[in-house]
Structures are given as structure tokens and as C-alpha cells.
Structure 1
Amino acid sequence: MVYGLTIGQAAAFAGVTVKTVRHYHRLGLVDEPERDSSGYRRYGSSDMLRLVQARTLADAGVPLAEVGDLLDADPEQFVSALDDVERRLTDRIDELIARRAVLHRLAAGDRLLLPERACAALDRFAELGFGADYVAIQQEALILARALVPEVFDSFLSQLERQLGDPQYVELMKLCQEAESWDPDDPRLDEIASALAAKVLANRELLSLPAEFRARPDAATRYGLINHHREDQAPAAARLTELLEANLRAAGVDIPHQ
């Protein structure tokens, strides 16, 4: 009677493939049994025990490179090593949960790049009746602000939230949206710029730029990329921004020059 299992039988009994068994052999996790008189390798109970132990550890998330040491460890070392593996698995689970949360937000497109507070401000624009194109421009500006001037992003959001809560300012912003189609020399732009400056200066504390931002050698460039975003597509909007900045500088506000 022939005792022992063929590699195919051993793999089936252990719940793995023959390829996996051979891979375990190459890594030194399970020794290859000697060949019998007929030339076949026969797996005995000790071989099967080792194979099942290796598979169980691998299925539990233990890296194969560490399985061999675990199998050869004494009980105290085994428990300590498993604790370490559990900690790493927990970290990995947290990372995967965070990634899943990101995937759930992908339907929101570029909003993935913004915190919830900024997304709430964008939703408020839509609730107040601003058009989709205008909201898209505000969204792009927020993304740029977060990436290029992280030092002032929170104060920028605070100012925006306050503006959206001020009915008069909201009407001015809607007028700005309408003015994008005007001639850049339209005198009404001066009136809008003056009204906007007065509103902004009412909360002057939100206009101060942190020292770390002012110290940047490229501060003006960063500021310009945000505050003059898409102006090439709307000359009247560019003119309005120019007039607003002039009003603020005249009031002593430190606005970076391009």
C-alpha cells in the first residue's frame, strides 16, 4: 500500500493550488518531501500540517516573506509577531476605508480635491441661483487656492462664507456675473468695484495675508493664478478685478502686484 499524498492531492486537501505548493517550496516555507521508489513525492501528515499552517498565515495577511519565521518561532515570538501583523493590517484597513471614501466622492468630479466645507459653499452658490458656469469657475478658484496658497485657504473660505450670507453682497456677485458680458470700458464696472471694495473692507481682518505667504518669492504669481483665473475669457471680468484691486490698495490693503 502506498502511503502519503501526491502534490495534487496535498494541494487539494490544503485548499490551495499545485502552483502555490511549489511556490511555498521555492520560498522554503514547506520542504519538498523525498521521492518514493516509484519516483513520486509523497506528502505525509507533517508536510500537510506545515502546508496548512503556511496557507492559514498567508490567508490571514501575513506576508509570505515572514511566514517561514513565524512557523519556526517559539510561542512567545509567534504571538508578538502576530500582534505586529495585526497592527499593520489595521493600518491597511484604515487606508482602504479612506480610499473607499474617496471613491464614493468621485461622482462629484473635481470636488474630490476640496474639503467638505468648500463643497458646502459651492452648493450655497447653486442654492442662491448662480449659474452652473459661474459655480464651476468658483470651484476651480477654490481648488487653485487650496493648492497654491494653503496658508490663506481657511481665511479665504471664511470670507466667502460671510459673503454668501450677506444678501447685498450676493446681489453684487450676481451683478458681477452679469457684467462678464459687458464692454470692459463700461462705467458701471467702476460702481460695482467701489461697492465690492466697501463690502470687503467691512471685514478687513479677513484680508490680511500671513507672513509666511508674503515671504514667498513667488507670492504675486500664486495670487495672480487664483484671482485672475479665466480672465482671458472675460475681459470685463478682468477689468472689474483690476478696479477692485485698485480700490483695496488705495485703502491700504496689501494686494500682490502682478
Structure 2
Amino acid sequence: MADGLTIGQAAAYVGVTIKTVRHYHRLGLVAEPERDGSGYRRYRSGELFRLVQVRTLAAAGVPLGEIGDLLDADPRTFAATLDDVHHQLTERIEDLIARRDRLHRLDHGDRALLPDRACAVLDGLAGLGFAPDYVAVQREALVLARALVPEIFHNFLTRLERALDDPESVELTKRAWDARSWEPDDPRIEELASALAGKLLADRTLLAMPAGLGNQSDAASRYALVNHHREDQSPSIARLNMLVEADLRAAGITVPHP
């Protein structure tokens, strides 16, 4: 022990690899000890202390390129630099926590793409007996609304939430979904469109377009992509939506034309 430690022993005691110790030497972070009579470099307490300092700072996130100056700095500079490193580490931790939470949401289906409030709406639809394919279409519509027209997303959710609390709205919505199998010229479609429009007009505040949305050149296209989602798969639903929008416009509601 009086002759010091070999590089392998020093690395093991400090908790790094021999390759890492040599890397520290190349960077000038730790001076290479003198060789003994046998030609081996022997690490004594001074070199070991420096190795421990470098290893500790590196593990704490201090860039290797800054460690040398930091260890040679005065106490005030050393303390200020450590405070900065602490701040950087805190930001990294917060970023990692956010990434972890996003991964957690990916493990929970809808929560990867929608806020908890929207997921609660989808759970409510399923709880009221809506068919899984209807819930799936609403899920897609919510995702599209949030991405394409975030200006109306809050009102969109509120309308759905209030509809879930209204048995008549629930029954009308189920009838509208059943209308997929009707012929486009079925007279029941006009009656259903009038009833649906009447329900929507019961709370006009939720139908108001946000200020400025109408002045955006692509607003109508974005709105149409959401409001007419999947209707290309059912001509009767396309006609139902057209009639509902016509009734709303006739009542003075602004509905963007695609």
C-alpha cells in the first residue's frame, strides 16, 4: 500500500473503469502518476482524491470539459457553478418525468392523444350503451378537433358532456347513429335533423364560432374535416349533417362552408 495502487485498483476503488481513468488523463483532469521502479504507475492519495472529485462531478452531470476549470476555481466560483449544475439537473429531471408521463399515457390508450376530460366523455358514452364503433368515431373526432381546430375543442367537449346528461339528447344521438342504415331520401332523416338542430340551438353559446376563426383561410376546411368525419362512409349521415347545418344557418348560427 505504501507504493500506491495500480490503475486497475484505483479505478475499482473509485468506481470507474480503467478506460475512464485513462480518458481523464487524456483530458488533463487527473495528472498521471509517476512510474515506480517496475515501470508501473502507482496512484497515491493525491491522485485518488482527484479521481474521486472528477468522478463525482461527472456523475452529477457536470460536462467533462468544465470539470478541470471547476476544480481549479476559487470556492465562490465553485459554489456558483454547482448551483448552475443543480438547475440544469432539475430541468433534466423535469423533462424525464414529462417523458415518463407521456409513456404512461401511451400505455393507457386514449390518454396518449386526449386530455383526461375527453377520456371521461368517451367513458361516459360507453357507459350509456353507445356502440363501440360509435365511441371509436367520436374518439377520432375528438383527436381531430383538438389537433385541427383547438379553438372549438372546449365547446365541443362541453356540448358532449351536456348531451350525456340529457336522456333525450342521448336517444337522439343513438337514432342518428342508427340512421347509417337508412336510405338517404328516408323522410325520417329530415325529422331527425330538425330535432338534433333544435337540441343544439337550446344553448347557442356553445355554437358560437371563436372570434377570428372565420377570417382564417383554412378554417372552414379544418372545421369540415372534423364535423364531417367519416360521413363519406354513409350517404344518409352526410345528408343528416347537411340538413342539421342548414337548420343552424337558418337560425343565424355561423357554420363554416367547406
Q: Judge same fold: TM > 0.5, yes or no.
A: yes
Corresponding residue SS for 1:133: helix
CA deviation vs aligned residue, 1:223-242 (integer Å, no higher than 9, x gap): 11101111122222111111
- Provide runs of 4+ in structure 1 moved above 4 Å: none
Match of 1:29 in 2: 29
CA deviation vs aligned residue, 1:70-109 (integer Å, no higher than 9, x gap): 2122111111111111122122222222222222222232
**1:1-16 to 2 correspondence within 5 Å?**
3-16=3-16
TM-score normalised according to structure 2 size:
0.94
Alpha-carbon RMSD: 1.7
Match of 1:120 in 2: 120
Match of 1:207 in 2: 207
Q: Does structure 2 retain, via aligned residues, the 8 Å contact 1:213–1:219?
A: yes
Q: Does structure 1 retain, via aligned residues, the 8 Å contact 2:29–2:67?
A: yes
**1:1-258 to 2 correspondence within 5 Å?**
3-258=3-258
Q: Does structure 1 retain, via aligned residues, the 8 Å contact 2:30–2:50?
A: yes
Corresponding residue SS for 2:39: coil
In structure 2, give the amino acid aligned to 1:180.
R
| Offset at residue 111 of structure 1 (A) | 3.1
Corresponding residue SS for 2:41: coil
| Offset at residue 36 of structure 1 (A) | 4.0
* Cα 1:108–1:184 shift into 2, 3 Å: farther
* Cα 1:26–1:110 shift into 2, 3 Å: farther
In structure 1, give the amino acid aligned to 2:172.
L
TM-score normalised according to structure 1 size:
0.94
| Offset at residue 34 of structure 1 (A) | 3.7
In 2: Cα distance, 1:28 partner to 1:166 partner: 74
| Offset at residue 19 of structure 1 (A) | 1.2
Kindly tell me the number of residue pairs found equivalent between the two proteins: 258
In structure 1, give the amino acid aligned to 2:129.
G
Over the matched positions of the two proteins, sequence identity in percent amounts to 66
